[in-house]
Amino acid sequence: MIVESPAKASKIAGYLGKGYTVEASVGHVRDLPTKPSEVPAKYKDAEQLVVGVRGDFSPIYVVTPTKKATIKKLKDELAKSDELLLATDEDREGEAISWHLLEELKPRVPTKRMVFHEITSKAIQEAVSKPRDLDLDLVEAQETRRILDRLFGYDLSPVLWRKVATGLSAGRVQSVAVRLIVDRERERIAFVPADYSGITAQLASADGDFKAKLNSIAERRVAVGGDFDAKGNLKGAAVRLTAAAAAKLVPLLQAADWKVARVESRPKTWRPSAPFRTTTLQQEAGRKLGFTTDRTMRVAQRLYEGGLITYMRTDSVALSQQALAAARTQITQLYGPSYLPATTRVYDGKVKNAQEAHEAIRPAGESFTLPEHTGLSGDELRLYELIWKRTIASQMMDAKGESVSVAIDATLEQPTEVAGFGLSDTARFNASGETVTFPGYRRVYIDSVVRPNGEDDDTTDTTAMLPGLQEGQALAARSVTAEDHTTKPPARYTEPTLVAKLEDLEIGRPSTYASIIATIVSKDYVFRKGKALVPTWTAFAVTELLERHFGHLVDYKFTAGLEQQLDQIADGDAKGLDVLRGFYYGTESDTAAVNKAAKITGLKPLTTALGDIDARALSTFPIPGSDLVVRVGKYGTYLEAADGRRGNVPADMAPDELTAAVAYGLLGNGGSQGRVLGENPATGRQVVAKVGRYGPYVTEVEPEDGTAEVAEVAAAATSAAAPNDATTQTAASKAKGGRTSKASKPAKPKLPTAALLKSMDIDNITLDDALKLLSLPRTLGLAPDGEAVVAANGPYSPYVKKGGEYRSLASEDELFTVTLEQALELLALPKAQARAVAAGRSAAAARELGLDPETGKKVVVKDGRYGPYVTDGETNATLPRGVDPATVELARAAELLAEKRAKGPAPKRGRAAGRAGGGRSGTSGSRSGTSRGRG
């Protein structure tokens, strides 16, 4: 029997006993080649649209390099067996893995497909007794999706490399997800806030106090936030109450007569939500537990493989008869018969393109284990408890209560003119509340909600309780308060709301959402600010390019239509070849944008389709209310003024925060004129901090010359001079070469220049800091052979040098403290040993965070040659920008390490490796992280 993960194999082997050998494929064993060199020789001369896809859209599959040993082991075990059961997961991806195994192993014994949705003894025994044949429609649907993703990514990614920046990628669903996030940020940038006021009264009755809010004056409704549009204009009949008018009313209302004008009471019923499917689990775990989608799926995978929950990739909300019986029994035992409905509840799935008919996510088995009896802890316990509560609540009685709405009139002592409302002697206030008479399912579980502005909330208990009130009853005002408000822009997407939006638009599959979000974060399209997903300016540039030149391919309806076609293939109602042809070459109903994508392939030179793409225009974004623009360059994002001044854009600044005022402030802290730090006493020249195209740096300037363009290049050259990266040296020489072509002209003397260290901030750098930088490279003395020993800063790490020998230093601080003796000791060591010594010294400053909940290993945050990172001693994960190594917590570190493990070993460096797409991870056996394939 072949399953996907070692953990699952071990569990199932225990249920089957002797006579069965259970092995794991550890995810996919075959995939499309990632670069031309991996294409088998027999296909070398075949026409290929992109790497691994031939001209007739037939794929070329190769065994993943890391899986060759796995295939050999499986073949050896198969040779000793008399039957083969393919027991990979029960979705399209699992069906495809079984097909690939069948194709590669070529079994000569009877072979059957076996599926199960929970790992319990009974479920496994039933699955063994009821095998089926491989579903080739599901296989074709997955294969078509894989080819579509390869065509999209390999055709469009090179366009991004040439026109935006290297290392970027495009994906069929990934790029649409980025567009959604960028569109929301565009709305926030264009948003014009509106100011308005309201009045709240604290009122007293015989049965208690309560709050009421001003609703109308002179029978004209007072405007609230929802009455304003995105441009700050009123969009209905409501009238804005100004701050001055509110302040005028407050003392008059304090002296007014208050009376209950109307009381309306109506029964209210709350009904439980359906059991979890993949996306609703991701959303609720995000809101209630603070989990990312990737973290949710990783924890759920462990619970499933441990036999505690059913399969976690499902579109279904149905419960089996066994599960219904288990839930009803437990409800009666725990809460009594009054909480049990007369009949079971049946839920209709809301997913239009529901995949295979699975069961909802629920506790596994014929009886549900109580959370406190599972022996779980940490993330596993929290997620299991959430699933258990939602499942039990879905079969409980409705909650019952009463909703009360009260209108209250405040009669002024005399008619008063109120700006915008006219003359009036009465103001109407409203109060509302609710009471729960029977808690029903809410005794176990309260649903999360999304507020009207798009913000998440994890509770519905926001309505106040009201005392008993009667029509005509007199009230007393304890206090009347004016409140000033400003309308808020649409909330940014969080992971839960993005998942909900993608599902609503019918884009992508629920099983791929975690990997899509992980990809757009890792590719620097998005960064997290709290729970919000914030687009980078790079994301703006990429989205702008795709919208202008390949608009159809990032169109929401077009992408959803492709998803529907894939579902039709899975149902046997469409052919994959027809879908691929329509996508690649276009059909009569397609627009020219689809055909344009076909030109950016190996069939025609890439440059013929790139000539009309203006990279500078696509990467330039005017800042409203200023003469400044944001530019996305090959070396980062920067501000530029009409007079050529430049300034850095902070990495953690959201695009909508970059207003004209903020931008001018940033420009003042390091434009081309620079910030004067003081005078170098040794030379008498001014020392200036600047921002150039290669980043922040310090330089000296002559009194009569405030600009030093050559200094900027010198700063880049200084940083690039380290020999530990030949590519960097070449790039640096090219950068210098662009300005040295006129070497015959008299050259200006090169003034001392140095790039800032990674730990420095241009806004806070002092003259002393700058003078230390300008002292680099620092000559430490002479070696016994007479050669100079130098300490210098390179693009990846500080180092010491003697002739052609280089050794890394542990930290930037050592540039200024390392002695000649210490440097000679390092230089005498072999490179590997020297690195270990440097690592040992830097480890002294490492911060321990605790034990990784997944591996049990100690997690430490360190400062490495590529910046701060976290490690468990085996896996390293770079800290994303905006994450402070001094404050990063264990949960975030564990999340980053898990994402890195899910990606598997890093591909070999090179152009083709950067274009690699998807497949399941070869290291974890799960489909978390990027192991689901590129979106």
Residue 891: per-residue pLDDT: 79
pLDDT bin (cut points 50, 70, 90) of residue 728 is very low
For range 51-57, the mean pLDDT: 87
Residue 829: per-residue pLDDT: 83
Q: Which residues, in sequence order, are bridge partners of residue 850?
A: 859
Residue 715: per-residue pLDDT: 42
CA distance 901 to 891: 15
Could you give the residue numbers annotated as active site? 311
Which of 290-294, 661-665, 692-696: highest mean pLDDT? 290-294
Q: Which residues, in sequence order, are bridge partners of residue 640?
A: 629, 646
408 neighbors 475 (Cβ within 8 angstroms): yes
Report the number of secondary-structure helices (H) and strands (E) in the chain: 26, 35
For range 53-65, the mean pLDDT: 90
Q: Residue with structure tokens 């940033």?
A: 666
CA distance 552 to 546: 9
Tell me the percentage of the chain whose pLDDT exceeds 70: 82
pLDDT bin (cut points 50, 70, 90) of residue 98 is very high
Residue 903: per-residue pLDDT: 66
Cα distance from N-terminal residue to C-terminal residue, the chain: 31
More confident residue, 850 or 712: 850
- Of 693, 685, 684, 741, nearest in space to 714 by CA: 693
Q: Which of 408-417, 608-617, 647-656, 818-827 has the lowest mean pLDDT?
A: 608-617
Report how far apart, in Å, the C-alpha atoms of 717 and of each of 426, 504, 805, 827 are: 75, 51, 19, 24
Q: Please give the single-letter amino acid code of residue 673.
A: Q
Residue 693: per-residue pLDDT: 59
CA distance 195 to 531: 27
CA distance 234 to 239: 8
More confident residue, 877 or 669: 877
Q: Is the peptide bond before 777 cis (omega within 30 degrees of 0)?
A: yes
CA distance 97 to 927: 12
Residue 351: per-residue pLDDT: 57
pLDDT bin (cut points 50, 70, 90) of residue 707 is very low
More confident residue, 104 or 873: 104
Q: Is residue 38 pLDDT above 70, yes or no?
A: yes
pLDDT bin (cut points 50, 70, 90) of residue 931 is very low
pLDDT in tens, 419-432: 999 999 999 999 99
pLDDT in tens, 475-523: 999 999 999 999 999 999 999 999 999 999 999 888 889 989 999 998 8
Report how far apart, in Å, the C-alpha atoms of 353 and of each of 50, 335, 350, 560, 564 are: 29, 37, 9, 10, 7
pLDDT bin (cut points 50, 70, 90) of residue 633 is confident
Q: Report the phi/psi class of residue 698: left, alpha or beta, with left for phi > 0 and alpha for psi in -120 to 50.
A: beta
Note the helical H segments in 394-447: none
Q: Which of 240-254, 372-386, 596-610 has the lowest mean pLDDT?
A: 596-610
454 neighbors 497 (Cβ within 8 angstroms): yes
Phi, psi of 441 (to 5 degrees): -65, -20
Residue 491: per-residue pLDDT: 95
Strands 84-86 and 449-450, by their bridges, are unpaired
For range 715-723, the mean pLDDT: 40
Residue 450: per-residue pLDDT: 60
Residue 747: per-residue pLDDT: 54
Q: Is residue 364 pLDDT above 90, yes or no?
A: yes
Over 447-499, what HEC string results? CCEECCCCCEECCCCCCCCCCCCCCCCEEEEEEEEEEEEECCCCCCCEHHHHH
Residue 748: per-residue pLDDT: 59
Q: Is residue 12 pLDDT above 70, yes or no?
A: yes
More confident residue, 905 or 920: 905
**C-alpha 495: how far from chain center:** 7
Question: Can you give the pTM of this predicted structure?
Answer: 0.73
pLDDT bin (cut points 50, 70, 90) of residue 907 is very low
More confident residue, 188 or 916: 188
- Of 795, 826, 799, nearest in space to 811 by CA: 799
- Of 514, 531, 530, nearest in space to 522 by CA: 514
Q: Is residue 8 pLDDT above 70, yes or no?
A: yes
pLDDT bin (cut points 50, 70, 90) of residue 749 is low
The mean pLDDT value of the chain amounts to 83
pLDDT bin (cut points 50, 70, 90) of residue 183 is very high
**C-alpha 407: how far from chain center:** 46
pLDDT bin (cut points 50, 70, 90) of residue 182 is very high
Greatest Cα pair distance, the chain, in angstroms, is 104
Q: Is residue 607 pLDDT above 70, yes or no?
A: no
For range 820-848, the mean pLDDT: 72
Q: Report the phi/psi class of residue 139: left, alpha or beta, with left for phi > 0 and alpha for psi in -120 to 50.
A: alpha
Q: Is residue 604 pLDDT above 50, yes or no?
A: no
> What is the sign of the dihedral through the CA atoms of 565, 497, 309 and 334?
negative
Residue 727: per-residue pLDDT: 34
CA distance 459 to 437: 19
pLDDT bin (cut points 50, 70, 90) of residue 923 is very low
Q: Is residue 856 pLDDT above 50, yes or no?
A: yes
What angle separates helix 513-522 from helix 495-504, to the nearest 10 degrees?
120
DSSP 274: P
Q: Which of 71-80, 236-245, 323-332, 726-735 has the lowest mean pLDDT?
A: 726-735
Residue 356: per-residue pLDDT: 46
CA distance 656 to 488: 13
Report how far apart, in Å, the C-alpha atoms of 25 and of each of 71, 115, 119, 157, 422 are: 8, 16, 17, 30, 77
Q: Is residue 686 pLDDT above 80, yes or no?
A: yes
pLDDT in tens, 792-826: 988 777 899 998 888 888 888 888 989 999 899 88
